[in-house]
Structure 1
Amino acid sequence: MSISSTAARTADATVTALAGPGGHFLPSEQLSQILEATEADWARLAANWDDLRLDTHMADGGTYRYRRYGQFELTTATGELTLLPHEPYRQESEVNALNGGVDRLFEPLTESFLNNPLFARLLTALGEIFSAVDGTERWNIKLHPYRITAGAEVGQPAPEGRHRDGVTFITSLLISRLNVDGGESSVYTNDGDLLETVTLTEPGDLLLGDDRRTLHSVTPVHPVDATAPAHRDVLVIAYTAR
């Protein structure tokens, strides 16, 4: 995709950060420049989070997470993005001590989600950044739209604690926050040194990490007003080099 010189410098800085320390926060304003996205574009994408389904595979018994799932293959040299057949999602227990070791079947992404005009631009732009870091041109992309609710039950964006996802690069994109405190995201080196701590607050705020060299965590979310609905919506996107 062709982007402005300012957006190109932002993308280059992201490549440098990922090739160096391994973690990087990209504010919404900068990501929006890369994607040529408006507030209305983010709002249209966010509407899809009202159509997620309860995650019934939580080993902690939690009922605070709603989600869907889908995966793609991307060839960055040509920009070809291909939806892959729907199948269960699996992580091994060594990677996910809480929910790993089993096949988890989630509802697929909706046509509304897949046809959103911002969607392909986002996946392609991130793939180009990761290709510039890693040299890989073919990626498997796994998408996890999450809604974490907060109320009488504490919302846990990362119930497994500090972890990695067993992929090449991992990103967390804020879609919306409604009536919540908390949700502070942190990225660490493999030795436990803190690289980045940030609270994603604006639609389009993005935290990226080299999953081979970093660990990440997110603190729980609590309602500001316990009598009103409260949730944190994010899109977690995992890129694995082919």
Structure 2
Amino acid sequence: MIVNKTTPAPFYLELGQLTADSVKHLTPSFDHLPPNPYADGAFRLRRYSRFTVTQNRIKRLPSQAFVQDESINHFQGNVVRRYEEIDDKIVNDPAFVELFEHFQTMANVADNTPIEVHQLRIFADHKSVEVAPEGVHQDGFDRIGIYVMQRHNIDGGHINVHLDKNSPALISHDFDKGEFVVLNDRRFFHSAQPIKPRDGEQGYMDIFVLTANLVH
């Protein structure tokens, strides 16, 4: 008897939006991000943690430094960066699990796969600020998810998805209120437009970025 094994369809990208209740639970935590001592600290605050998820239960992995090769990140490549962990209060909130549910389901990320999470506030006080100083780039993972939780008092900041490094944006959208894109980082490139405050008040956008390599 011949058994036919079905091969999962290749994953490219998918768009979605978190529930309004999850956004309401998660956004206040961005007001308490610590200072960032690295080159992007003048315009970006960050926490960084690693997790695995099994049957929607989150397990925090031991803290470690974050490093990207210079070939991937021309802005801060080969810099060993250590950030404070994402706060336990957020990690234990059911709303945080929703980030992983979408990421795993859409991108076929299996349980027990290490998933890195960056919690970012990108801000501008009076002038234009680069959201992605790397330009059009890949992050060096199999899968990434970009969740824009909120935008405050800014113009710009569109998240762009490109077919290759030199192509115009295939998708360009001012993600907000928990809107997100999950994409195949080996297949696509991404970038973001600069942000500028609309008036004298500080403007910012708050983002979770999830990254993972698949278990082969």
Residues 67-103 of structure 1: CA distance to partner in whole angstroms, max 9, x if unpaired? 100011234xx44532101111111111111111021
Residues 115-147 of structure 1: CA distance to partner in whole angstroms, max 9, x if unpaired? 12111232133212221xx7x554221111111
Q: Does 1:177 align with 2:167?
A: no
- Which residue pairs with 2:13 in the alignment? 23
Q: Distance in 2 between matches of 1:198 and 1:120?
A: 25
- Which residue pairs with 2:45 in the alignment? 66
Q: C-alpha displacement at 1:24, in angstroms?
A: 3.4
Q: Distance in 2 between matches of 1:170 and 1:126?
A: 8
Structure 1 pair 151–191 and aligned structure 2 pair: CA distance change class (3 A): closer
For 1:241, give the aligned amino acid.
Answer: L
For 2:44, give the aligned amino acid.
Answer: R
Matched-pair contact (CA < 8 Å) for 2:145–2:181: yes
**Runs of 5+ consecutive residues of structure 2 not aligned to the other structure:** 1-7
Instruction: Say which SS state the counterpart of residue 47 (structure 1) adopts.
Output: helix
Match of 1:199 among 174, 178, 192: 174
Q: Does 1:224 align with 2:198?
A: yes
Q: Distance in 1 between matches of 2:102 and 2:82?
A: 28
Q: Distance in 2 between matches of 1:117 and 1:211?
A: 27
For 1:200, give the aligned amino acid.
Answer: F
Counting matched residue pairs gives 207
Matched-pair contact (CA < 8 Å) for 1:68–1:108: yes
Q: Distance in 1 between matches of 2:57 and 2:185?
A: 24
Q: Distance in 1 between matches of 2:185 and 2:92?
A: 28
Match of 2:184 among 195, 210, 213: 210
Instruction: Say which SS state the counterpart of residue 235 (structure 1) adopts.
Output: strand
Q: Mean Cα displacement is larger for which, 182-191 or 214-223?
A: 182-191
For 1:210, give the aligned amino acid.
Answer: N
Aligned-residue Cα RMSD (Å) equals: 2.1
Structure 1 pair 216–191 and aligned structure 2 pair: CA distance change class (3 A): closer
Matched-pair contact (CA < 8 Å) for 2:52–2:114: yes
Give the 5 Å matches for 1:34-53: 37=19, 39-53=20-34
Match of 2:95 among 103, 118, 130: 118
Q: Distance in 2 between matches of 1:211 and 1:74?
A: 20
Structure 1 pair 190–138 and aligned structure 2 pair: CA distance change class (3 A): farther
- TM normalised by structure 1 equals 0.78
Percent identity over paired residues: 26
Residues 135-167 of structure 1: CA distance to partner in whole angstroms, max 9, x if unpaired? x55422111111111123432210111100001
Matched-pair contact (CA < 8 Å) for 1:64–1:154: no
- Which residue pairs with 1:8 in the alignment? none
- TM normalised by structure 2 equals 0.87
Q: Does 1:109 align with 2:86?
A: yes
Q: Distance in 1 between matches of 2:81 and 2:41?
A: 15
For 2:210, give the aligned amino acid.
Answer: I
Matched-pair contact (CA < 8 Å) for 1:179–1:223: yes
Q: C-alpha displacement at 1:62, in angstroms?
A: 5.3
Matched-pair contact (CA < 8 Å) for 1:138–1:241: no
> Deviating runs (4+, > 4 A) in structure 1?
none
Q: Mean Cα displacement is larger for which, 118-127 or 161-170?
A: 118-127
